[in-house]
């Protein structure tokens, strides 16, 4: 069984931007930041860099989200970093909590089993809520209702390069829906049943599959090396993500997410939002709707993308010798490039 069927009528190509929009029209876009109060120092660092490389020119608002109430100190300190709008939201039980059908005893047992395999965050309950929230809920938070595009930020990351153009206008005006800058391999122990569950969704929802891009227009080779039999573990790192909210708000994605959620894999396994977003995006989008943000030099934990071309040496404060793109064991950038053809 293949994730992407061969024989389907080619859907009508969508225009690169709605014709009623002119390129200079403002984009309804924001930064979205899920963060804890005790990560204040880390998010101050990130926002300071975002302001000085990009947002002091473009003034996009910041939306902060948390499963707990933000402290006055957090609100005061972060809002003082920018002249842009800052808003603060708390997640409800539906967005951050166990659905009624989850067997929490089974979830706990599975966490302990996975921990024995040395997988990162194997025994963390909150990490699972976080991944489920980032997979299925952030785009439905009321504070995001007025926006069409977002840039996800995290504490303690680095943004290395000056950006002198509006990345959101670039996305909209060029018909781009999903932007990334690091593509990584997943620990397969965290997602043993994810691919099979997506295949089951495809069988159960033929009416959804019917209007998705045909195989040759999609990026399906990014996520499978064996013609759809198995997941190859490649995913876009979602800790940096510039994307269209419409992708996740679509009925197709909402159906897929709720199917995945029902299966329990966010809790019984440890499904990351990165493989979920990535596999879904390869199903829902055409390959020309993806964008590799080469010009966004970026570090998360020990891995960084630093653009190597000469033109970036005056714009970026990273060392191009330290660039993850072609890391032989861990990077899926080459798989992405190959899948574009």
User: Distance (Å, rounded) from C-alpha 199 to C-alpha 193?
Assistant: 10
Question: Shortest gap between Cβ of 81 and ligand GDP (angstroms)?
Answer: 16
Q: What number of chain residues touch Mn ion (CB under 5 A)?
A: 2
Question: Shortest gap between Cβ of 230 and Mn ion (angstroms)?
Answer: 27
Question: Shortest gap between Cβ of 191 and ligand GDP (angstroms)?
Answer: 14
Q: Which does 155 bind (CB under 5 to 8 A by kind): Mn ion, ligand GDP, none?
A: ligand GDP
- For 292, the 3-state DSSP assignment is strand
Q: Which does 256 bind (CB under 5 to 8 A by kind): ligand GDP, Mn ion, none?
A: none
User: Distance (Å, rounded) from C-alpha 157 to C-alpha 331?
Assistant: 18
Q: Quickly count: other Cβ atoms within 10 Å of residue 334's Cβ.
A: 14
Nearer to ligand GDP, 252 or 273 (CB): 273
Question: Shortest gap between Cβ of 155 and Mn ion (angstroms)?
Answer: 8
241 is catalytic: yes
User: Distance (Å, rounded) from C-alpha 128 to C-alpha 96?
Assistant: 9
Residue with tokens 């909210």: 245
Site for Mn ion contains 239 (CB under 5 A)? yes
Question: Shortest gap between Cβ of 251 and Mn ion (angstroms)?
Answer: 30
Question: Angle CA(103)–CA(95)–CA(130) in degrees, nearest 5?
Answer: 80
- For 159, the 3-state DSSP assignment is strand
Q: Which does 247 bind (CB under 5 to 8 A by kind): Mn ion, ligand GDP, none?
A: none
Nearer to ligand GDP, 170 or 298 (CB): 298
Instruction: Identify the CA nearest to 257 among candidates 140, 148, 146.
Output: 140
Nearer to Mn ion, 218 or 239 (CB): 239
Site for Mn ion contains 304 (CB under 5 A)? no
Nearer to Mn ion, 197 or 239 (CB): 239
Annotated catalytic residue: which of 39, 51, 241, 269?
241
Nearer to ligand GDP, 259 or 303 (CB): 303
Q: Which does 67 bind (CB under 5 to 8 A by kind): Mn ion, ligand GDP, none?
A: ligand GDP
Site for Mn ion contains 154 (CB under 5 A)? yes
Instruction: Identify the CA nearest to 101 among candidates 250, 258, 273, 251.
Output: 258
Q: Which residues contact 302 (CB under 8 A, 6 or more apart)?
A: none
Q: Which residues contact 172 (CB under 8 A, 6 or more apart)?
A: 17, 21, 27, 148, 149
Given the DSSP bridges, would you call strands 62-66 and 234-236 parallel, antiparallel or unpaired? unpaired
Interface contacts to ligand GDP, rule CB under 6 A: 34-36, 39, 66-67, 126, 130, 154-155, 239
Q: Which does 123 bind (CB under 5 to 8 A by kind): Mn ion, ligand GDP, none?
A: none
Question: 124: burial class by Cβ within 10 Å (0-12, 13-18, 19+)?
Answer: middle
Residues annotated catalytic, as ranges: 241
Where do contacts with Mn ion occur on this chain (CB under 5 A)?
A: 154, 239
């Amino acid at each position: 069984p293949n994730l992407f069927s061969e024989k389907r009528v080619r859907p009508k190509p969508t225009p690169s931007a709605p014709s009623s929009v002119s390129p200079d029209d403002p984009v309804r876009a924001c930064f979205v930041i899920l963060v804890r109060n005790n990560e204040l120092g880390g998010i101050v660092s990130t926002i300071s860099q975002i302001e000085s490389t990009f947002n002091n020119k473009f003034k996009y608002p910041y939306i902060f989200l948390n499963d707990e109430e933000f402290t006055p100190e957090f609100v005061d300190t972060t809002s003082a970093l920018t002249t842009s709008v800052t808003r603060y939201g708390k997640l409800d039980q539906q967005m951050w909590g166990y659905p009624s059908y989850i067997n929490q005893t089974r979830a706990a047992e599975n966490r302990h089993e996975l921990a024995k395999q040395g997988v990162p965050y194997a025994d963390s309950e909150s990490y699972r809520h976080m991944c489920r929230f980032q997979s299925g809920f952030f785009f439905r938070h009321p504070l995001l209702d007025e926006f069409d595009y977002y840039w996800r930020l995290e504490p303690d990351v680095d943004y290395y390069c000056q950006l002198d153009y509006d990345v959101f206008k670039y996305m909209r005006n060029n018909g781009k829906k999903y932007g990334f800058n690091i593509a990584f391999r997943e620990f397969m122990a965290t997602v043993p049943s994810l691919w099979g569950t997506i295949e089951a969704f495809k069988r159960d929802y033929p009416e959804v599959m019917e209007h998705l891009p045909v195989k040759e227009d999609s990026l399906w080779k990014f996520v499978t090396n064996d013609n759809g039999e198995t997941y190859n573990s490649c995913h876009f790192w979602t800790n940096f993500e510039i994307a269209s909210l419409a992708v996740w708000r679509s009925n197709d994605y909402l159906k897929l997410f709720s199917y995945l959620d029902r299966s329990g894999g966010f809790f019984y396994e440890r499904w990351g939002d990165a493989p979920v977003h990535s596999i879904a995006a390869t199903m829902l989008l055409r390959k020309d709707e993806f964008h590799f943000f080469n010009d966004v030099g970026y570090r998360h934990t020990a891995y960084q993308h630093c653009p190597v071309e000469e033109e970036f040496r005056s714009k970026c404060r990273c060392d191009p010798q330290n660039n993850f793109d072609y890391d032989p064991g861990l990077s899926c950038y080459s798989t992405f490039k190959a899948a574009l053809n």
